[in-house]
């Protein structure tokens, strides 16, 4: 079963599907950029799905967070990141305030 078919099944039942690319930094991000260029992978995927797609690099309020281990946000940033993500989800009408 394709991802889009699964997305459609969820949407037919009244659900909403959101794919989020969370921040990474340092060597992890550099490796991602080289191995999986956003334009070739994420942007292509986003153009093929009816789901909402959010890449941290495309949303100013989701950029600039510290990932001490290069892959996970600092726990002190979690509340600010969560609020920024919730605001983006609200802006895209995924959630309502």
pLDDT in tens, 49-95: 999 999 999 999 999 999 999 999 999 999 999 999 999 999 999 99
Site of tokens 């959101």: 18
pTM for the whole structure: 0.92
* Helix count and strand count (H, E) for the chain: 4, 2
Question: Would the pLDDT of 97 be above 80?
Answer: no
pLDDT of 53: 98
Nearest residue to 3 via CA among 41, 52, 49, 40: 49
Question: Would the pLDDT of 27 be above 90?
Answer: yes
Question: Would the pLDDT of 31 be above 90?
Answer: yes
Task: Delimit the domains of the chain by residue range.
Answer: 20-91
Q: Which residues contact 7 (CB under 8 A, 6 or more apart)?
A: 17, 49, 50, 51
Integer Cα distance of 51 and 4 in angstroms: 8
Average pLDDT, the chain: 95
- Token digits of residue 77: 């940033």
Share of the chain above pLDDT 70, in %: 100
């Amino acid at each position: 079963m394709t991802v889009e078919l699964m997305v459609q099944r969820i949407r037919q039942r009244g659900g909403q599907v959101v794919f989020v690319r969370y921040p990474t930094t340092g060597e992890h991000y550099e490796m991602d950029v080289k191995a999986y260029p956003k334009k070739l992978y994420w942007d292509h995927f986003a153009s093929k799905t009816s789901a909402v797609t959010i890449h941290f690099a495309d949303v100013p309020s989701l950029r600039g967070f510290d990932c001490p281990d290069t892959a996970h946000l600092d726990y002190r940033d979690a509340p600010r990141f969560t609020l920024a993500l919730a605001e983006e989800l609200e802006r895209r009408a995924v959630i309502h305030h």
